[in-house]
């Protein structure tokens, strides 16, 4: 059996295997064996940090494009471009895509900040607000483009052939969280504080990402717009970076993420009761 035949028989498995191999493999190659042993206690900075981010982000997009070519050829690429250019959708979908992230994260932090100043949004306490916003905008625009051309460009349409919106969003959301595993290892022993590493990493990776992906899948299913998926992802990333409280670690970070996840699941539940999208 040829490689092309295997890819066509198991496109999703091949896609995810390739995406993870590129992202994680590239990450490990760049940091080198000398840094791997101390990865839990170190932090990345300078040019190496930029290279690691870029190679990690290349996984979903490169895997998505390559798998699309093998499975669908040029027609598949044309379809991705078509969905990417589909921006004429109802205003309410723009409102949902743009506002879900910031409203949920800031509402969560403002409520929590009533009980502790540790939860005050970072943008309110940052000394250099302009630099924080600039960094958030750069990362928030580049990252989602690279990721969504894979997650939404390839994986979600395939999963929707067999699964509901909820199941599709949950599957992609969990894998989305797991994909972030290796990049979150850097310095995790410090950032986890007194929280056990297993618990801390589980919350970091699988708290708010799955419910948010369920909501993203719901929006995509109604718009069939890859452009909207990128916007919704960008909104989440930009405002998460802007809102993250200065110096938050350990139990406080776990508390924030869990409460935020509950808020997002409640939103998803309300939408389900009104729309029966599962």
Helix crossing, 209-223 with 226-243: angle to 10°? 150
Give the H or E element holding residue 240. Answer: helix 226-243
State the burial class of residue 96 (Cβ atoms within 10 Å of its Cβ: 0-12, 13-18, 19+): buried
Is the CB of residue 14 less than 8 Å from the CB of residue 150?
no
Q: What are the sequence ranges of the domains in the chain?
A: 3-275
Q: Residue 158: what pLDDT?
A: 96
Q: Residue 47: what pLDDT?
A: 84
Helix crossing, 91-113 with 209-223: angle to 10°? 170
Q: How far is CA 103 from CA 14, 137, 173, 267, in A?
A: 36, 17, 20, 11
Q: Residue 1: what pLDDT?
A: 66
What does the angle CA 270 – CA 273 – CA 278 come to, to the nearest 5 degrees?
105
State the burial class of residue 163 (Cβ atoms within 10 Å of its Cβ: 0-12, 13-18, 19+): middle
Is the CB of residue 96 less than 8 Å from the CB of residue 214?
no
Q: Residue 277: what pLDDT?
A: 60
pLDDT averages per 10-residue partition of the chain, 278 residues: 78 97 94 76 77 94 96 94 97 98 98 98 95 95 97 97 95 98 89 95 98 98 97 98 96 98 96 75
CA distance 204 to 197: 10
């Amino acid at each position: 059996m040829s490689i092309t035949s295997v890819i066509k028989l198991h496109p999703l498995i091949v896609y995810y295997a390739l995406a993870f191999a590129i992202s994680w493999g590239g990450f490990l190659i760049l940091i080198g064996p000398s840094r791997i042993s101390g990865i839990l206690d170190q932090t990345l900075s300078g040019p190496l940090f930029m290279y690691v981010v870029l190679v990690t982000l290349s996984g979903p997009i490169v895997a998505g494009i390559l798998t699309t070519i093998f499975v669908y050829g040029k027609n598949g690429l044309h379809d991705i471009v078509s969905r990417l250019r589909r921006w004429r959708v109802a205003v309410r979908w723009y409102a949902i895509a743009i506002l879900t992230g910031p409203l949920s994260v800031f509402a969560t932090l403002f409520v929590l900040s009533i009980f502790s100043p540790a939860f005050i949004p970072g943008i309110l306490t940052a000394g250099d607000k302009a630099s924080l916003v600039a960094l958030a905008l750069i990362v928030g625009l580049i990252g989602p483009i690279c990721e969504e051309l894979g997650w939404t460009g390839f994986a979600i349409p395939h999963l929707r052939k067999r699964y509901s919106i909820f199941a599709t969003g949950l599957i992609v959301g969990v894998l989305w969280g797991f994909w972030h595993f290796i990049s979150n290892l850097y310095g995790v022993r410090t950032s986890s504080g007194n929280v056990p590493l297993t618990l801390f990493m589980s919350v970091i990776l699988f708290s708010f990402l799955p419910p948010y992906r369920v909501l993203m899948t719901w929006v995509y299913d109604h718009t069939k717009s890859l452009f909207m998926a990128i916007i919704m992802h960008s909104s989440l990333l930009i405002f998460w970076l802007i809102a993250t409280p200065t110096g938050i670690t350990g139990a406080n970070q776990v508390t924030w993420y869990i409460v935020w996840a509950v808020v997002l699941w409640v939103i998803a539940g309300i939408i389900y009761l009104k729309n029966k999208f599962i």
